[in-house]
Structures are given as structure tokens and as C-alpha cells.
Chain A
């Protein structure tokens, strides 16, 4: 009987992998990606401006019993919260720090406190004073948008399923209230 041919395999042999085509692809890809890459990540904060007509219609349909939260930002006194509930107004202020800056931790705590007592509200009306810089406006919106602590969540009802759930979002909808003022 003829013996079956077995090729001799040397398991310890080494071979050189030709990386040149791979390198050629990379050399072409890298400049393309370098040109099209965004090294500064830009994001957006959504806000709606009140339109004159829209505002008038909303005013007509407004439920007088619904609680409203207005936030006034000033470089003199800090941030003033005006909470209107059942026709009654409650005013609270978070003063500036000793360095005349916004007291962001206290501001965030105040937003959490308001949200805890009014979990059904997601919209605030913001009215910064004329000399308030844009960065401060964004900071206040950041503090209002979402709870920083994962332990502090707020109850919310899922409209589709009717089940109670919780969310980190506090006041994601900000409307600039004084845009149309003269």
C-alpha cells in the first residue's frame, strides 16, 4: 500500500506580513479624517422664543391655576425665583457669592427644591437683565435643565402607558420671557 503524503509543517517557522498596502490605505485615510474631523464638539441648547401671536393665543388658553416659575437673573442681586401658584406669588432669591458671581451650587439646590414641590412643571420663564453676559445665561439654564445627582430623581407620568416613572430632568424648557419687552 502506498504511503499517504504528509506535508512537513514547521510550526516554529516565521513569516513577514506585508504591511505596505495597509499602510498605503492609512496614509490616504488619515488626511481625509484630519480634514473632516471636528475637534471642538459643538452642541445646542433648545429654547423657544415667544411670538406675539402665539403668546396671545397661549394667554387665552392659559389655565389660571397652573403653577408658573419665572427666573430673573441679575448681576446686582443674583437670581430671583417668582413662583405663581393659584394666583399667589412667592419670591425667593439666591444671592451672588462674595466674588459677585452666580452661586451655582445653591442655584441648583433651589431648582431641585422647586422641582420637588412641583414635579409636573418642566417649563420656566427666564428674564435676564440687560447686562447679564451670555455665559451666565447658559450657566443658569444648565443648572435648571437636569439634576446633577443621580440619586435625586423626580416623578413623572408616562402619558402613553400611564405608569409612574422618574426622571433626572427638571426644567428642560426655557422660554425667554422678556424678549418682546421694549
Chain B
């Protein structure tokens, strides 16, 4: 005679209390950490892909202004690509033939920004994100063009470091 298999009795309508204390503890710690790292500045700046910012000991928070970034592959005004970058040099097609430091497409975009955001443009502030390996010769071209377009207040964006 075959032995009868044991089947435990299951109460279908049974309710049980879940202990969520430890989960609440975990969430509290997570919440404190996130509140601490919550962006406290008035400006949120998205890091540009491919740009490794240098670290600096500066303590100044971000301010608003025209946003220029230069990565190893492209020069951007805000989100718009204005010139190609190859071997850390701006493509010659973007450079004015009569002035080797003048980046024409960037100047045009800055002029457009001048018209569209008159109030912000009056401050003459440029938030400049550049890759740490970019040589000064390339940076200078951007600085020169920004200065010519009426943006002499250059704000070099860095990451917090020692």
C-alpha cells in the first residue's frame, strides 16, 4: 500500500504582518544621502559627453551664462555642435581665413544668443567646459571668439577636487 503524501494545510485567506522597519531604516539613510548630494546651486549643468573636466580647489558655485563646451571631437554651443575637433584642434573649415583665432560659427551662435537672451547676454558670462587635455592654443581661440562676441567673463567649469 502506497504511503499517503503529506500535504501541508494552507489557509487561503491568511494575512500576515510584514516587518518593514529595516526597510524604512535603509530608505532613511538613502534619503539623507540624496538630500545631502541634492544640487544646491541655482544652476544645473549637464556634463558633456567626452569631456573630462579638470579638478580644482575653487569653491564658487555655478552661475548662469552662455554655455560652451569643447570635447576631443566637437565644439558645442549649448547642445548645438558648431565645429569639429580633431587632434585637439578646431577644424580649419570653422576658422576665419583672415583671423586664425576667430571661430565664425561660434561667433554667429553667440550673436544669436545676444539677441534671444538679452538680459543674460548683458552679464557677458560664459560657462566654459573643456576637456582637461585640450591645449591652450585651442582654448584661446574659443576665448578670443567669446570676447569678440561680447562675452568677456569666462567661467571655467571644473569638478571639485583637492
Instruction: State the CA gap A23–B47 with chains docked (Å).
Output: 33
Q: Which residues of A contact B79 (CB under 8 A)?
A: none
CB distance from B30 to the nearest CB of A (A): 6
Instruction: Choose the segment among A34-42, A88-96, A153-161 that binds chain B (4+ C-beta atoms closer than 8 Å).
Output: A34-42
Interface string of A51-88 (1 = CB under 8 A from B): 11010000000000000000000000000000000000
Instruction: State the CA gap A83–B53 with chains docked (Å).
Output: 31
Q: Which residues of B contact A16 (CB under 8 A)?
A: 17
Known contacts A22-B24, A26-B31, A48-B154: A179-B147 contact under CB 8 Å: yes
CB distance from A145 to the nearest CB of B (A): 7
Q: Considering the complex, which residues of chain B in the window 62-87 have a beta carbon less than 8 Å from any beta carbon of chain A?
A: 62-63
Candidates B17, B130, B146; contact of A49 at CB < 8 Å: B146
Interface size, chain A (Cβ < 8 Å): 49
Interface size, chain B (Cβ < 8 Å): 54
Instruction: State the CA gap A107–B27 with chains docked (Å).
Output: 47
Instruction: State the CA gap A182–B96 with chains docked (Å).
Output: 13
Residue pairs across A and B with CB atoms within 8 Å: the count is: 155
Q: Which residues of A contact B130 (CB under 8 A)?
A: 134
| A29 interface residue per 8 A CB criterion | yes
Candidates B37, B55, B59, B135; contact of A133 at CB < 8 Å: B135
Residue of B nearest to A20 (CB): B20
| B120 interface residue per 8 A CB criterion | no
Known contacts A36-B38, A41-B160, A44-B157: A26-B24 contact under CB 8 Å: yes
Asked whether, in the complex, the Cβ of B38 is within 8 Å of the Cβ of A33, the reply is yes
Q: Which residues of A contact B127 (CB under 8 A)?
A: 44
Q: Considering the complex, which residues of chain A in the window 1-60 have a beta carbon less than 8 Å from any beta carbon of chain B?
A: 16, 19-20, 22-23, 26-27, 29-30, 33-34, 36-52, 54
Asked whether, in the complex, the Cβ of B152 is within 8 Å of the Cβ of A49, the reply is yes
Q: Considering the complex, which residues of chain A in the window 123-182 have a beta carbon less than 8 Å from any beta carbon of chain B?
A: 128-135, 137-139, 141-142, 145-146, 176, 178-180, 182
Task: List 8 interface pairs A-B (beta carbons < 8 Å), by A numbering.
Answer: A26-B24, A43-B58, A43-B61, A45-B155, A130-B135, A133-B135, A178-B140, A179-B147
